[in-house]
Amino acid sequence: MLVVEDQKVLADRIAEGLRDAGMAVDVVYDGAAAMEITAFTAYDVIVLDRDLPRVHGDAVCAGLVGGPAEARILMLTAAADVDDRVDGLNLGADDYLGKPFAFTELVARIRSLARRSPSAPPVVVRGDLVVDRVRHRVSRAGRPVVLTRKEFGVLEVLLAGGVVSAEELLERVWDANADPFSNTVSVTLSRLRRKLGAPPLIETVIGSGYRLADAP
């Protein structure tokens, strides 16, 4: 998640609430910073204020829609009459929520946008492993596996395939506030391996990272 909002107190409160809801969240406070961070960080959903300093939110939205980024865009702004909503959606935004807003509605809309990502099927099956991304449920060989939010997030990233570095896991599952020198990734992976059971599903690729093995 990326929150782009120039009212710092509001931005930080939104980010804190989304983290409490189990999301990894970065925050920037102007349009130029949004363009910079999205150039090298892939987000699932971007909450974008419209009236931003340095680069207007409309320009940020148009740049994201016209670029390679696949993030869903939720415009969050005080300009919430019909014409404003139409303008925002015509720019390519996926959803539009006016201020003031109910935080529960914001979370629900973000989760709905995340489920609509073309790279994120709601249910993933790998052999005897079944991951329901919508309900946050996991089972292996018919046995329910109870995971924490971070463990579930790590598993989601690994399900995309390929070798994933510890740095990428830290970036995708945690956020910019995470300590890059901590052992939080290895500890979380160790717990996840134990919960998924035998035979082991997560392989360590020495010098590169981790990958999900084919489930029997």
pLDDT tens, residue by residue, 45-92 = 999 998 899 999 889 998 988 887 788 999 987 765 666 666 666 778
Q: From CA 43, how far away is CA 135, in angstroms rounded?
A: 21
Where does the pLDDT of residue 178 fall: very low under 50, low under 70, confident under 90, or very high at 90 and above?
Answer: low
Least confident of 5-19, 96-110, 171-185: 171-185
Least confident of 55-59, 100-104, 165-169: 165-169
pLDDT, greater one: 83 or 141: 141
Structure tokens at 42: 């892939």
Q: From CA 95, how far away is CA 23, in angstroms rounded?
A: 19
Sign of torsion over alpha carbons 101, 4, 113, 86: positive
Q: Which residues contact 172 (CB under 8 A, 6 or more apart)?
A: 24, 42, 153, 157
pLDDT of 10 reads: 94
Q: From CA 93, how far away is CA 211, in angstroms rounded?
A: 34
> Are 11 and 27 a contacting pair, CB within 8 Å?
yes
Closest CA to 96 of 188, 160, 104, 87: 87
Q: From CA 55, how far away is CA 67, in angstroms rounded?
A: 16
Backbone φ and ψ of 91, nearest 5°: -75, -15
Would the pTM of this model clear 0.75, i.e. be above it?
no
Structure tokens at 90: 């015509």
Q: From CA 118, how far away is CA 5, in angstroms rounded?
A: 26
Where does the pLDDT of residue 105 fall: very low under 50, low under 70, confident under 90, or very high at 90 and above?
Answer: very high
pLDDT of 5 reads: 95
Q: In this structure, which amino acid lies at residue 140?
A: R
pLDDT of 184 reads: 85
State the average pLDDT over residues 25-36.
Answer: 94
pLDDT of 216 reads: 55
Instruction: Please report the domains of the chain, with CATH numbers, ordered by start residue.
Output: 2-115 (3.40.50.2300), 123-212 (1.10.10.10)
| Mean pLDDT for all residues in the chain | 85
pLDDT of 126 reads: 84
> Are 47 and 5 a contacting pair, CB within 8 Å?
yes
Backbone φ and ψ of 42, nearest 5°: -90, 125
Most confident of 7-16, 153-162, 164-173: 7-16
pLDDT of 88 reads: 61
Closest CA to 196 of 154, 135, 134: 154
State the average pLDDT over residues 173-200.
Answer: 82
